[in-house]
Structure 1
Amino acid sequence: MDRTSHIGEKPKLIDQFGRQITYLRLSVTDRCDLRCVYCMKARPEFLPKADLLSLEELTVLCDAFIARGVTKIRLTGGEPLVRKDILTLIDNLGARIGCAGLKELCLTTNATQLPRYAMRLAEAGIKRLNVSLDTLDPEVFSLLTRGGKVEQTLAGIAAAKAAGLHVKINAVAMKNRNDTHLPDLIRWAHGEGHDVSLIEVMPVGDVGADRSTQFVSLLDMRRQFEAFWTLTDLADDTGGPSRYVQVKETGGRLGFISPLTGNFCAGCNRVRMTCTGELFMCLGQNGSVDLRRALREGGPGEVDRLLDLAMATKPLQHEFDVTPGAKTAVARNMARTGG
């Protein structure tokens, strides 16, 4: 594969298996205003704020990725909208859409802050949001988020819709927790005009629970849905890991993100960077490079060198295991790496 398109351009980010990296998931903070049971412990230890890259440094590193062929950036957390002055970064990156190689800027959120921010996000150039919502039941929502109020998330989704943002609902399927609630969630979301993606529990981080007690196979869940819905496979590709079907009875799209029962690593086009500049080449592996140190001590040339090293060491796939007693794939929690 040709790594450059024109003379003078920087080489594209292509890993040792020939996969071009065009998608950066950037966790701007590990902090969150919810405490989801599959994401973190009840009493998480957050990073000292002094360890975080400044918004200006995050912009510089995003520019380095864009120069190497990244066309899509997703801001994640934690909850990205709880980071102070986050609109500065969003405005900076939004200004790069269409003129600096960046095609899309999007965001993953729990929606609690959207009544305040939705219109500003749209004005900055964001068109699509992923919203984490695992159930419509207030009691189950409170249980899964350790005290959250589903009304706040629903109000945020309504604000996003009013601002003209396309919303996709992300729901983590959990055995004996919300699995029986998912059909109602899907019906509601499709009725509101929102796509839905279901996600299998991933053994990332110590959340104080055995993952085997949380895991439910989406292959099994699809079979259950097919008892009352007509599902037609679609070729739709939004640049992420969802494999979509059309639900005839609801008229909406339903995605399945199945890292355990339907490994999608062969087509991986993404890397993840934390708010401290740690770049992980795989969500389910420990390998990383330190872009914060590279930027502060070596400048752009050292950042490019480490990006090349990252491409040479990006693994073929994760090694998730949720059998009873299995160890977590990596010790860091999901909020640190970004979902």
Structure 2
Amino acid sequence: MSQPMIDPFGREVSYLRVSVTDRCDFRCVYCMAEDMTFLPKREVLTLEELDRLCSAFVDKGVRKLRLTGGEPLVRKNIMSLIRNLSRHLDSGKLEELTITTNGSQLARFADELAECGVRRLNVSMDTMDAAKFKTITRWGDLGKVMDGLRAATEAGLSIKINMVALKGVNEHEIVPMMRWCHDNGYDLTLIETMPLGEIDEDRTDQYLPLSLVRARIAEDFTLTDIPYKTGGPARYVEVKETGGRLGFITPMTHNFCESCNRVRVTCTGMLYMCLGQDDSADLRAALRASESNDLLYDAIDEAIGRKPKGHDFIIDRRTRQPAVSRHMSVTGG
């Protein structure tokens, strides 16, 4: 095991997000095109390789691990990976193992996730209107997601709803969604749409600055900034009238890069030191070149030494191209 991961700006990397698949059973309009071409199996890390890779990062000081996709729970035999990774919770090396999901498979897996030591879920859900849900996700079924949320709650899992704020689509649902979340004991985090990958729509038409959303909410609710953190980039407020927490992820209006402690690995083993930059490192090659982890550790150290200060996201009428070509489903949420 080598030294903890310190980037060129003195930030210790202790949080890893790993995409276990680029596949998803939804086709959300801000995330991917409807006719997506997914990766061939040979390019995707096996479950054994994902375990070895995650474990190497844990050895190097990662304390929080999040599995994402695509939709992670559609990956065949995914629970075997989660069960194996839970050994790091048992040993105390890992503080938290969490999942970001669209909720479609939670009714099947909630109990088993809880048994494996998962305590918290992020569930992506942009509307409670069934017809609009179908429009946004193209293939999604709101009823299945609601069943999954109930199953997760009954299994004792804490839930945070992630809602991408989309101008003219769901902006008038934000307050009702907040009330519903807080009534059910869920946190709600609002997210600005990000310029990742080519999609069928114009992101300029979708983009809704959360500074404007917060100002609107503050007209009717008392919002108090609180230091609560989950390890991610959200800034939280407490809503006095509901007693719940509301988070804001603002890559566009309020750059959160100064405290970034995160890196992401794709399902192909590409390590991205920043969500909004193309610089990467091929960890799959290191994994497959040797049964020893020495080459893998070296590749990780070299990459962390190149972690940039921040992203360069822009959404406006003059900037038609996405900041990076890869879709969010490839890098992982």
Query: Separation in 2 of the partners of 1:155 and 1:189?
Result: 15
Deviation at 1:50, TM superposition (A): 1.9
Aligned counterpart, 1:158: 150
Matched, 1:74 2:69: no
Query: Separation in 2 of the partners of 1:42 and 1:149?
Result: 16
Name which of 96, 120, 128 aligns with 2:88. 96
Aligned counterpart, 2:183: 191
Aligned counterpart, 1:115: 107
Name which of 320, 324, 327 aligns with 1:333. 327
Aligned counterpart, 1:140: 132
TM-score by length of 2: 0.98
Deviation at 1:237, TM superposition (A): 1.4
Query: Separation in 1 of the partners of 2:211 and 2:254?
Result: 8
Query: Separation in 1 of the partners of 2:287 and 2:66?
Result: 21
TM-score by length of 1: 0.96
Deviations 1:40-79 (A, max 9, x none): 0011111112211111111111111011100110000000
Deviations 1:87-133 (A, max 9, x none): 11000111111415111100000111000000000000000000000
Contact 2:107–2:152, Cα closer than 8 Å, also in 1: yes
Matched, 1:276 2:255: no
Change (3 A) 1:54 1:100: farther
Aligned counterpart, 2:293: 300
Contact 1:204–1:333, Cα closer than 8 Å, also in 2: yes
Aligned counterpart, 2:308: 315
Query: Separation in 1 of the partners of 2:112 and 2:87?
Result: 13
Deviations 1:232-266 (A, max 9, x none): 11111111111111111111100000011111000
Query: Separation in 1 of the partners of 2:188 and 2:88?
Result: 29
Query: 1:187-266 residue pairs with structure 2 within 5 A?
Result: 187-266=179-258
User: Gapped runs of 5+ residues in structure 2?
Assistant: none
Matched, 1:289 2:278: no
Deviation at 1:140, TM superposition (A): 1.1
Task: Kindly provide the amino acid, as one letter, of the partner of residue 16 in structure 2.
Answer: L
Aligned counterpart, 2:11: 19
Query: Separation in 2 of the partners of 1:110 and 1:193?
Result: 18
Query: Separation in 1 of the partners of 2:223 and 2:36?
Result: 40
Query: Separation in 2 of the partners of 1:154 and 1:230?
Result: 29
Matched, 1:31 2:23: yes
Q: How many residues align?
A: 331
Using the TM superposition, name which of 241-250 and 216-225 deviates more: 241-250
Query: Separation in 2 of the partners of 1:230 and 1:54?
Result: 48
Deviation at 1:147, TM superposition (A): 3.2
Query: Separation in 2 of the partners of 1:234 and 1:127?
Result: 22
**SS of residue matched to 1:39:** coil
Contact 1:210–1:324, Cα closer than 8 Å, also in 2: no
Query: Separation in 2 of the partners of 1:105 and 1:283?
Result: 20
Deviation at 1:325, TM superposition (A): 3.7
Contact 2:66–2:99, Cα closer than 8 Å, also in 1: yes
Contact 1:110–1:133, Cα closer than 8 Å, also in 2: yes
RMSD over aligned CA atoms reads 1.0
Query: Separation in 1 of the partners of 2:99 and 2:264?
Result: 14
Task: Kindly provide the amino acid, as one letter, of the partner of residue 99 in structure 2.
Answer: L
Deviation at 1:149, TM superposition (A): 1.7
Query: Separation in 1 of the partners of 2:12 and 2:207?
Result: 31
Query: Separation in 2 of the partners of 1:264 and 1:183?
Result: 24
Aligned counterpart, 2:45: 53
Deviation at 1:209, TM superposition (A): 2.1
Change (3 A) 1:267 1:98: farther
- The share of aligned pairs that are identical, in percent, is 51
Query: Separation in 1 of the partners of 2:144 and 2:318?
Result: 36
Contact 2:264–2:275, Cα closer than 8 Å, also in 1: yes
Deviations 1:205-226 (A, max 9, x none): 1112221111000000000001
Task: Kindly provide the amino acid, as one letter, of the partner of residue 85 in structure 2.
Answer: L
User: Gapped runs of 5+ residues in structure 1?
Assistant: 1-8
Deviation at 1:30, TM superposition (A): 0.4
Deviations 1:293-322 (A, max 9, x none): 011114411111111111111110000000
